[in-house]
Amino acid sequence: MQRLKAAAAFIIRRSRARSGGSLPFNHYRTVSSPPSNNPIDDNLENQVLVEGKAYSRTAILNRPSALNALNTNMGARLLKLYTSWEDNPDIGFVAMKGSGRAFCAGGDIVALYHLINQGRLEDCKEFFRTLYTFIYILGTYLKPHVAILDGITMGGGGGVSIPGTFRVATDKTVFATPETLIGFHPDAGASFYLSHLPGRLGEYLALTSETLSGAEMVACGLATHYSYSERLQLLEQQLGELVTDDPSVIEAHLEKYSDLVHPDKMSVIHRIETVDKCFSHDTVEEIFDALESEASGTKDAFCNSTLRRLKEASPLSLKVSLRSIREGRFQTLDQCLVREYRMSLQGTSKLISSDFCEGVRARMVDKDLAPKWNPPSLEEVSEDMVEHYFSPLSAVEPDLKLPTGEREAFN
């Protein structure tokens, strides 16, 4: 991780400033996970397929009509598979990929929306508990792991890939943590890995929900390798023939089939100085002020587009997400997951706000793209509301229990 961050810093230092450049919001209408109506997708065994190779196994996320959105069953199956593979001496390393045009668009938020409205909060808890536990297992896995991010990789899709050893991005990769747009917070370990990105890029991605390309993922360290999608078949074929559990051997293979790419001139990577200047402030209000000042003084299209993105998000989610990233910078993976579990229960309980359900309704269910946030403005989001978001759901609500005694977390 340190080597990647150093490489990313080198790229950023060499980058030139650019102006403007932001994907339109309706891009998210195509990449957010829709509900699955495909009976094949909903066959529980078929939702995660297994591909056996000489000395490796590949888990294939297989709900293509739902962009491989994760549900409780998939999390439980991944947990079972990865635990058995880790204990199997005939398996040297593990890989993960997705079916169709997505690696994984995140958690199945539409299913969660319906569970909440049906009062099935225990089922919601089980979803978060199962997924977060798998992410911790992946982040402490004893064997090398290769995630092939060929397509949409958002929210929980980052959670089930980035904590692993290697992440291969492609020309089809679209990465984002778009939770503030649905009244939630970047979860599934995002407060850990976003907070460790160069400068204040993590705050920028968490608050704006903006996308990164595969080249940008490599530049900032979220991905370790880049390969054009058309070359993946050969890469996977050769990878499957390896008989090794040595990460350096796997890395050498991935590098053999990797392509050298650079972020285009419109990339946020080239605006890291502006991002650092504006997103280093202590409060969301100060971030807004800094962007407005920068935009008015320089007529910077990048700052204006960033402001527009922020104004679409839930005010409560913005404040909660900023604090989450800031806390994550000084926590281990397990501490981030335990805290995110608390936050996710609060965010789906409607005790503080109904922004999550309202955001999903507006973006994914009714699709009117007109969420009515509560509170509707930053000024009306109190410190007590934010503080409450980081507290246990109740005095008797247990925290997430992770196997930290058996598997040591990393910083």
Active site residues: 107, 156, 179, 187
Instruction: For residue 64, give the nearest of 86, 38, 84, 45 by alpha carbon.
Output: 38
**Do residues 222 and 206 touch, judged by C-beta distance below 8 A?**
no
Q: Which residue has the tokens 């196994």?
A: 57
Q: Kindly give, in sequence order, each residue whose CB lies less than 8 Å from that of residue 364, ignoring residues fewer than 6 positions away.
A: 32, 33, 34, 35, 109, 110, 113, 182
Rounded CA gap, 197 and 216, in Å?
Answer: 12
Please spell the DSSP secondary structure of 10-52, one letter per residue.
HHHHHPPP-------TTHHHHHSPPPP--TTTT-TGGGEEEEE
Q: What SS3 class is residue 65?
A: helix
Structure tokens at 350: 């409607």
CA distance 406 to 174: 35
- Supply the DSSP symbol for 224: S
Q: Sheet harboring 56-61: ordered strands across?
A: 48-52, 56-61, 93-98, 145-149, 166-169, 225-226
Closest CA to 356 of 115, 191, 174, 63: 115
Strand 56-61, strand 48-52: pairing: antiparallel
Q: Report the DSSP pairing between strands 212-213 and 174-176.
A: antiparallel
Measured distance CA(344)–CA(393) in Å, rounded: 10
- Dihedral sign (CA 68, 71, 75, 77): negative
Phi, psi of 224 (to 5 degrees): -100, -25
